[in-house]
Structure 1
Amino acid sequence: MMPSPVRKAAHWAIRGYQLSLSGLVGRQCRHLPSCSEYTDEAIQRHGFWPGGWMGLARICRCGPFGTHGIDLVPETLPEGAAWYKPWAYGRWRGVNAPPISCEAVETDGG
């Protein structure tokens, strides 16, 4: 499936930011992936309108009193989100971290 012209334009605008302004501001994102990578992936996966709102919510959570750590773009759109209530697309609190597997948890040998 070919990405729409709007998605391509958004991708290149984000890429332009990453190659220019991001270097001047410094890498200060508190999340993995970075806010610009998150927004780009959200737009490519879910479309410009929902993905843009997801990215805006992520940027708002990236401040000094916001969230931090691994935060992945959700596989599906949030339940109840619609074009006429765009704020419902974004996660305004918390992160979408991958589940911790049993193998990743270290146990005490005793």
Structure 2
Amino acid sequence: MKIFSKLLILPVKFYQKGISPLLPPSCRYYPTCSTYMIQAIEKHGALLGLLMGCARILRCNPFVRGGYDPVPDHFRLRRNKNPKK
């Protein structure tokens, strides 16, 4: 993994370990948005992974049903229509 990807993952890990445990669970998706961000960066690189993670955070709100939404194999900003478990 490249250094820029590692640098982008550090604040997400800090959030997971230091901030998230203090807050009630609020993510409507599985995997959680922070885990999705890390997986997207690892799978698609820093820029595309960051874009995918930000798009996921923006669509995680009380007006969506949520559910299983893994990182897709190919870059896309929309939710997976038929994710495979």
The two structures have a TM-score, normalised by structure 1, of 0.69
Whichever residue aligns with residue 36 of structure 2, its letter is Y
Of residues 2, 10, 35, the one that matches 1:12 is 10
Q: CA RMSD in A?
A: 1.7
Question: Per-residue deviation at 1:64?
Answer: 0.4
Structure 1 runs not aligned, ≥5 long: 79-89, 101-110
Structure 2 runs not aligned, ≥5 long: none
| Large movers: runs of 4+ above 2 Å | 94-100
How many pairs were matched up? 85
Would you tell me which structure has more helix in proportion to its own residues?
2
Q: Percent identity?
A: 36
Between 1 and 2, higher relative CO (CA 8 Å, sep ≥ 6) is seen in: 2
C-alpha change, 1:34 and 1:97, in structure 2 (3 Å) is farther
The two structures have a TM-score, normalised by structure 2, of 0.87
